[in-house]
Chains A and B, each alone.
Chain A
Amino acid sequence: MSFHPNELARRARVASWALVGMFVLLLSAFFKTQVVNYTKYSQQSETNRLREVPLPAPRGIIYDRNNQVIAENVPGYAVSILSPSADSLRAALNRLSAIIPISQEQIELSVRRFSRARNRPVAVFSDAPFDEVSVLEERRIDFPGLIIQSAPKRYYPDSSAVASIAGYVGEVTEAELTNPKYQGYKTGQSVGKGGLERQYETRLRGKEGVRFVEVDAMGRVVREAGARDEVAAEPAAPLYTNIDLPLQRFMAKIFADSLQGGAIAIDPKTGGVLALYSAPSYNPNRFVGGIPPELWKQLNSDPRKPLYNKVTQARYPPGSTWKLATAAVALQRGLVKLDDRMPVACTGGFQFGNRYFRCWEPKGHGNLTLAEAIEKSCDVYFYQLGLKVGLSELVAGGLKLGAGTKTSIDLPDEARPRFPYDDVVGYYNRKYGKNGWSQAVVLNLSIGQGENSQTIVSMARFYTALATDGSAARPEIVRDKPDRTQILQLAPEQLAGLRAALAGVITSGTAGSARIEGVVLAGKTGTAQNSEDPLHHHAWFVGYAPAGDPTIVVAVMLEFGGHGTRAARIASKIIQSYLHVEPTTLINTDG
């Protein structure tokens, strides 16, 4: 080699510069990675190691008017599983199914859920029983992605007694997740499915928190806590309702298992719903954490429709309870006074054209005043009164009373009552054809039959107007802002007369068995024919007490319950329970 010092020094210079160049190049590459792209890589390293475990927020507690609990949260256990891939999830669940019961459908459902949110744990059980949890805890080492955490669980201390109001919660379904209404919901979260739980979902929901667990490259949970500060769940504010829980319980008890129908009690002054019950009921606690499929099937196929709220969703012909509406419309228009009599006395029926319309009392009521006709519920009187008012006026008046509109009670899926609309002729033409009907329809309408079916809550609302100054209160379960609408345009003495007649129904009329000692109960029975079962009529009673200064309006409807007096007896017991008046022996006068 050429080993001259000058030569060497020159080469050393070249080599040294090359080295320094290399050093600078490498260092700048590190600068680019560690400083310029720091955010990107830092995020990537966090996504590598952290998995978000949702911390369910406690739902808002639902209280009754005396701050007694209707719905609360109790500690439960949620089991979920973290997985790097769908295949390993399926494998883990298959292994789990050897220890605790998991069906094949559940496994497939979990895999579908996983594909929606891959870095969230898949909920396996949102409410696992304690013994299963302890089995899983023992075998935890075998299931490295398993996450068991306590999660607030909805609990209804009065179970089926409050189901009609509270509703229930369940896991948000796949169908709901695609609905824009449920934007922001994530798979595995629970959501209100009925009743107040659904109506006030946004207020009851709370804000989900998040906990971070650390996983290793194989997806095993390495650290349960402390990997990163958790975001605590924010519980929702409580919901204060007008419900009177003792009354609610009483209502549930009195309906027991045998009766089928619904009842509502409203404070006529505020519209506050004191109690609301639909029979038969169901146990909402069974829905928490996923309802067993057999039970779900059974509830849905039960002909008595326990999941259906008969107070707000079912429509029944109002029968004689509607006679007050006919009377009010006639009084408002000045067509009749309370002591006016009709041309034809009741002999047990009324001939109109070529048809004979019966009174419910075959013996006949004789010649009655309007007040007496209300007391005795005489059909013949009201046939004639209806004819006097005329079809279009009767319908227009009924619509003003709210016969065709929802009450806007704060429960989901309220049904709109069925009633002819303003264009009466058009309505009947469309329904029966141009020549398919006659003026005889007015006879049926005037006694609450025919093209009229009302919800229990809409009848109760109408009676809040009778119980007060003629303004109907919007029924509200959650204490909000009372809202009233003047629906009766009656002079004070007309209203007083109507109320006296209603009180007469109890003291001497059809609902004689429902008298309460010391407190005057005013109300109207109804025995409504229905198309489903011609032999068993629907039994209605709508009334209020005390008659002088009403503090409670009660509507009771017994499906296929027979005579309205049965409903009246139940209503009277409900009112007794609310007003704390000792019950007296009921005199059973049929009439």
Chain B
Amino acid sequence: MRRVVADYPLILCALLLSAYGVAMVYSAGQTDVPTVATHAWTAQIRWVILSIGLAYAVSRASVRFFEWASLPLYILTCLLLLGLLKFGGGAGDAASSKSWLVIAGHRLGQPAEVAKVAVILMLARELGARREAPRSLLELWKPAVVVGIPWLLIMLQPDLGSGMVFIGIFFAMLFWSGVPLPLLILIASPAVSLVLAFNTSLWGAWFLALLALVLWYRPYMWEGVTLMLANVFMGVLAPILWERLAPYQRHRLQVFLDPSIDPRNSGWHVIQSQVAIGSGGWIGKGFLGGTQKRLAFLPEQHTDFIFAVVGEELGLLGVTVALSLFLFLVLRAVRTASNANDSFGSLVAFGLAASWLVHVSVNVGMTLNLMPITGIPLPFFSYGGSFMLACWLSIGLMMRISSEGRGGRVGELAI
């Protein structure tokens, strides 16, 4: 067995993030009226220790092993997700969803977190086995299926947040495998059309820009026509879809656009989160001193909205430190990806980086109402065992890929 050359900056960064996260989970539990979060930090510490152990174990296995294991792991994951739809259980606010693996009444974890890693491995295997990157829509069917099956199963739970992460991973890995950006934009364009359709002139501008892109990039004729038609279809479909949405679904979208229309109910989370962060100022109200958190104005303060606690208690300073650590982590992962000595490892590293990025940007963006509330956790911060395991599992993989990779080549900005 080859000696592992550890990527110490990466480990240090992950350890700092975990320590920061545990501290914030502890603070989130310090409320005037005891909540479920009160003792969460002790469990979180146990999970961190367990996760670090797992990361070490993973880093001892070779990248080849993971390439070999990716298919069985992927199939297993898909079966688990399928079983979840029948036997899964909910928790907390999302009691009706089926994201938890429950065996004999014990909630063991959320398989979606592990599924993200499994999909990254499987997708890396699929894309890495090719000589050339897919250049047309038709060539993309295989990677689309790899992501599509678990995505569909997760969306049926339903777990919108994890679904978004899958899409992020999909596009990022296509990009890394060499799929040209114009093609990626064209693939994504119908979804953009769906959103923009509510403003005719905006949608018109988008359509013209897309047309220009098609003419410049010159995909196959049928591809171009199909995509443009898909955009038109989405544009027409959107208002019809809007009409057919249940009132509560429409309400949710409207609240995302303007939370103040329903400040006590659906708008409550995001308004209170913004108030918490905004009232933190430059240096915050002090560790444990957040009043929004302490007096239960801030919901989900130890899970989805933990970053609002950071903003409230440690201010812009604490936010900057946390975001810088995340930036370093992801840049480090990109560097690992570009230094990997085989395409599988490189794609895995980039996929993991994308997964972190989507988690961080969606979760943090949600606390400021830049993103809709989808219930996506913040890596290393949000309380939760399976997610912490998944995060450190990724670190373990990253360490292994990095130690097997080349030393020298560095992307310009990759640290």
Contacts and interface: CB of A to CB of B under 8 A. Distances in A.
Interface of A: 1-3, 5, 7-9, 11-13, 15-17, 19-20, 22-23, 26-27, 29-31, 33-35, 37-38, 40-42, 44-46, 48-49, 214-218, 220, 222-223
A11 to B, nearest CB: 6
28 contacts: A1-B127, A1-B177, A5-B338, A9-B409, A9-B411, A13-B411, A15-B350, A15-B353, A16-B413, A19-B330, A19-B331, A20-B327, A20-B413, A26-B364, A29-B368, A34-B311, A34-B315, A38-B279, A41-B274, A45-B275, A45-B276, A45-B279, A48-B297, A49-B291, A214-B295, A215-B295, A216-B296, A217-B295
B71 interface: no
B178 A7 contact: yes
Interface residues of B, number: 58
Contacts of A37: 278
B298 to A, nearest CB: 8
B395 interface: no
- Tell me the dominant secondary structure on chain B's binding face: helix
Interface in B287-327: 291-292, 295-297, 311, 315-316, 319-320, 323-324, 326-327
Nearest to B178: A2
Nearest to B177: A1
Interface string B318-352: 01100110110011001101100011001100100
Interface stretch (B62-70, B128-136, B186-194, B382-390): B128-136
Closest 3 CB pairs of A and B: A41-B278, A12-B411, A16-B413
B167 interface: no
Contacts of A40: 278
Given A3-B346, A34-B319, A11 B175 contact: yes
Given A26-B370, A42-B278, 9 more contacts: A1-B127, A2-B133, A12-B335, A16-B331, A33-B274, A38-B279, A41-B277, A42-B279, A45-B275
Contact of A30 (B319, B330, B350): B319
A307 to B, nearest CB: 47
Contact of A49 (B295, B327, B412): B295
B330 A49 contact: no
A16 B277 contact: no
Contact of A38 (B276, B281, B326, B327): B281
Contacts of A20: 327, 413
Contacts of B177: 1-2
Interface of B: 32-33, 127-128, 130, 132-133, 175-178, 272, 274-282, 291-292, 295-297, 311, 315-316, 319-320, 323-324, 326-327, 330-331, 334-335, 337-338, 342-343, 346-347, 350, 353, 357, 361, 364-365, 368, 370, 409, 411-414
- Tell me the dominant secondary structure on chain A's binding face: helix
Nearest to A216: B295
A223 B177 CA distance: 58
Given A1-B347, A16-B331, A33-B278, A218 B296 contact: yes
Contact of B323 (A26, A45, A49, A216): A26
A30 B331 contact: no
B316 A31 contact: yes
A217 B35 CA distance: 13
B331 A34 contact: no
Residue among A2, A8, A13, A49 facing the most chain B CB atoms (10 A cut-off):
A8
